[in-house]
């Protein structure tokens, strides 16, 4: 369940309470008249099942609370209440199968924002990937996969396309087209300096046979990307963070960028091109499968909503 806290102007407090009392899946309703100071108004609290959140939020947003009030939600790990059990049973569907669209949109918006932190993580991940290639270390490459923050913008593109929030999709694309070139340039400079000073002793990236899977594009490159993208989107909508870490380890996005950079500094342009293709295949596969997962979720939710309660 989620805990819902609403600040509503006094003249709309009754409308908010009526909406919550009539909604399926809402319980533990508490009203504090005039308790809110900034913005001023009534404070209304309730617990709500995930399956019912989208409809309730739509009603609250229609009341204009975004402009002169506030709506906040937070997950509840443990709820011990018969009323909560009844609310879960009354709401159609299963909590794990329900997407709270506003929550997902805001979460991906945060993860898809181009920031110093985002670029720094991407640079560090790309540098780790380059070190993994130079030292022929799969463990270091896996570390680069985990550190890389690129799944956030890729998920943002998928959510933006499905919800027709093209501002989110543009923000996500912007983060990728600025972040990856920046990380690759920094990694390239570091690689050139390492080669010039003798710190890096490598003449052929294909000799690193433990990590050559990074640049070898094949049918399974797309298969893995699609499967990982689907798992990643499912982990986002169901808040399964452990599954998301597994997704990071599955795809060769950042490692492909690092491999391409090292190959380019050695003049192995064919390998650099193949690595870049691997990067593109993985990103496209993740976005496409993410869109597919969200589209199926939305279709199933609409069918559940259209099914009579007695069936």
Span of 107-121, 162-176, 181-195, 206-220 with lowest mean pLDDT: 206-220
Let me know if residue 119 belongs to a domain.
yes
Is residue 311 situated within a structural domain? no
Domain limit, last residue, from 60, 75, 98: 98
Residues near 282 by beta carbon (within 8 Å), at least 6 away in sequence? 221, 224, 225, 251, 252, 253, 256
Model pLDDT, residue 242: 54
Q: What stretch of H or E contains 142?
A: helix 138-147
Structural domain ending residue among the three candidates 74, 98, 122: 98
Given pLDDT bands bounded at 50, 70 and 90, which one contains residue 244?
Answer: low
Q: Are 89 and 44 within one domain?
A: yes
Given 66, 98, 130, the domain boundary residue is 98
CB 148 within 8 A of CB 253: yes
Q: Which DSSP string corresponds to 63-106?
A: TTHHHHSEEEEEE-S----HHHHHHHHHSSS-GGG---HHHHHH
Segment holding 7, helix H or strand E: strand 2-8
Question: Are residues 241 and 158 part of one domain?
Answer: yes
For residues 14 and 137, membership in a common domain is answered with: no
199 and 115 fall within a common domain: yes
Number of domains within the chain: 2
Residues 214 and 143 in one domain: yes
Is there a domain that residue 308 lies in? no
- Look at residues 206, 209, 220 and name the one whose alpha carbon lies nearest to residue 282: 220
Residues in contact with 119: Cβ distance below 8 Å, sequence separation at least 6, in sequence order: 178, 179, 182, 183
Same domain, 151 and 262: yes
207 within some domain: yes
Global pTM? Answer: 0.81
Q: Is residue 274 part of a domain?
A: yes
Looking at the fold, whether 139 and 169 belong to one and the same domain comes out as yes
* 121 and 218 both lie in a single domain: yes
Q: Do 222 and 257 fall into the same domain?
A: yes
Q: Same domain, yes or no, for 149 and 81?
A: no
For residues 175 and 215, state if they share a domain: yes
Domain that holds residue 134: 103-300
- The percent of residues above 90 in pLDDT, for the chain, comes to 51
pLDDT (tens digit, 9 = 90+) per residue, 276-296?
A: 999 999 999 999 999 999 988
**pLDDT at 311 (0 to 100):** 46
Q: Which pLDDT value is given to residue 264?
A: 92
Other C-beta atoms closer than 10 Å to the C-beta of 85 total 12
Strands 2-8 and 40-48: antiparallel
Q: What is the CATH number of the domain that holds 43?
A: 3.30.70.1710
Residue 306 falls inside a structural domain:
no
Residue 220 lies in a domain: yes
Q: Is residue 130 part of a domain?
A: yes
Q: Tell whether 230 and 290 lie within a shared domain.
A: yes
Average pLDDT value for residue range 47-62? 90
pLDDT of residue 237: 80
As beta bridge partners, residue 75 has: 2
């Amino acid at each position: 369940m989620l805990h819902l806290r609403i600040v509503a102007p006094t003249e709309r407090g009754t409308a908010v309470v009526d909406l919550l009392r009539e909604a399926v899946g809402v319980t533990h309703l508490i009203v504090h008249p005039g308790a809110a100071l900034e913005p001023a108004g009534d404070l209304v609290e309730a617990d709500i099942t995930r399956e019912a959140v989208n409809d309730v939020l739509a009603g609250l947003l229609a009341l204009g609370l975004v402009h002169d009030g506030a709506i906040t939600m937070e997950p509840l790990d443990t709820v011990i209440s018969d009323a909560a059990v009844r609310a879960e049973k009354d709401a159609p569907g299963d909590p794990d199968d329900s997407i709270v669209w506003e929550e997902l949109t805001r979460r991906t918006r945060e993860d898809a924002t181009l920031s110093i932190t985002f670029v720094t993580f991407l640079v560090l991940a790309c540098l780790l990937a380059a070190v993994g290639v130079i030292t022929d270390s799969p463990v270091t490459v896996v570390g680069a996969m985990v550190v890389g923050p690129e799944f956030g913008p890729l998920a943002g593109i998928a959510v933006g396309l499905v919800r027709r929030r093209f501002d989110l999709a543009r923000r996500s694309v912007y983060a990728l087209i600025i972040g990856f070139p920046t990380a690759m340039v920094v990694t390239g400079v570091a690689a050139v300096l390492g080669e010039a000073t003798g710190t890096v002793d490598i003449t052929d990236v294909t000799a690193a046979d433990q990590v050559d899977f990074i640049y070898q594009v094949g049918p399974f490159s797309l298969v893995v990307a699609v499967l990982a993208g689907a798992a990643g989107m499912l982990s986002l909508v169901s808040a399964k963070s452990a599954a998301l870490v597994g997704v990071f380890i599955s795809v060769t996005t950042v490692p492909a960028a690092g491999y391409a950079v090292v190959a380019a500094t050695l003049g192995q342009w064919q390998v650099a091109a193949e690595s870049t293709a691997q990067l593109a295949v993985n990103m496209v596969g993740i976005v496409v499968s993410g869109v597919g997962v969200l589209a199926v979720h939305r279709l199933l939710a609409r069918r559940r909503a259209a099914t009579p309660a007695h069936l």
